[in-house]
Amino acid sequence: MSLKLSEIVPFGRSRREYELMFNLSEEDCQQLILGCGDGPASFNAEMTQAGYNVISIDPIYEFSAKEIKRRFEEVVDDIIEQVKATPKNWTWSYHQNPEDLRQNRTKALNIFLSDYEKGRQEKHYQMGALPHLPFESYQFQLGLCSHFLFLYSDLLSLEFHLNSIQEMCRVAQEVRVFPLLTLSLQVSSYIEPVREAMAKIGIQSCIEQTNYEFQKGGNQMLRFFRA
């Protein structure tokens, strides 16, 4: 049994989770970063507070803080119950147990919400969606995509993945994607076709181990860069 989701859900991660998921160094953090599909993550808010530069893009930024919070509250109980029902699917290290997971996700949401309206005005949060990004080529040094591409391989096509990663590589000099597992804990079948297609247009890639694992076996990210 695995986690069953019929749509992409508004769960956000913290700055510390991003640092672990993407092996972010201090040098990485000093770059101009694009977060694709960040949703209600607190990464942007925490980084902005610390003086770094992050722009997050997500279709949910069309909605108000109240609406985003309501959507989170509509799905969180069901997700936590599914996690409780599948304890062997998860690594309890960063999150200690299902209730700790809930608390961490709620904390990230609240930090995000406290920054959201000001961040929208300052264009730290911009409404938009892959595979089309409203940015100039190479506008960013680093592009990050957390818990969207590959995770939702059952909902998003190979063509969507190819177009999305090619677009991220257009606007960012380097792109990192985490995790590489689907919701059913299988390595996405899209990974090698995507890597092969990107190599044909001059973009290299490598798989790296990370220090973050929640899905059991989900401790790798995929980096794309120009040779």
pLDDT tens sequence across 29-67 = 999 999 999 999 999 999 999 999 999 999 999 999 999
On whether residue 63 sits in a domain, the answer given is yes
- Of 10 and 130, which is predicted with more confidence? 130
Please report the pLDDT score of residue 8 as a whole number.
Answer: 64
Mean pLDDT along residues 114-135: 96
On whether residue 151 sits in a domain, the answer given is yes
Tokens coding 11? 């769960």
Please report the pLDDT score of residue 7 as a whole number.
Answer: 52
Number of neighbouring beta carbons within 10 Å of residue 225 = 15
On whether residue 162 sits in a domain, the answer given is yes
**In the predicted structure, residue 6 carries a pLDDT above the cut 90:** no
Q: Identify the CATH number of the domain in which residue 125 sits.
A: 3.40.50.150
Q: Count Cα atoms within 13 angstroms, Cβ side, for 26.
A: 0
pTM for this model (two decimals) = 0.94
**In the predicted structure, residue 11 carries a pLDDT above the cut 90:** no
* Total of domains in the chain: 1
**62-112 confidence digits (pLDDT tens):** 999 999 999 999 999 999 999 999 989 999 999 999 999 999 999 999 999
On whether residue 6 sits in a domain, the answer given is no
CA distance 119 to 29: 18
CA distance 168 to 146: 13
**171-185 confidence digits (pLDDT tens):** 999 999 999 999 989
Handedness of CA 20, 24, 26, 32 (dihedral sign): negative
- Give the contacts of 35 (CB within 8 A, at least 6 positions apart): 41, 43, 44, 54, 55, 56, 57, 143, 144, 145, 146
On whether residue 62 sits in a domain, the answer given is yes
Please report the pLDDT score of residue 227 as a whole number.
Answer: 76
On whether residue 24 sits in a domain, the answer given is yes
DSSP state of 90: B
**In the predicted structure, residue 191 carries a pLDDT above the cut 90:** yes
Enclosing domain of residue 157: 15-226
On whether residue 8 sits in a domain, the answer given is no
On whether residue 37 sits in a domain, the answer given is yes
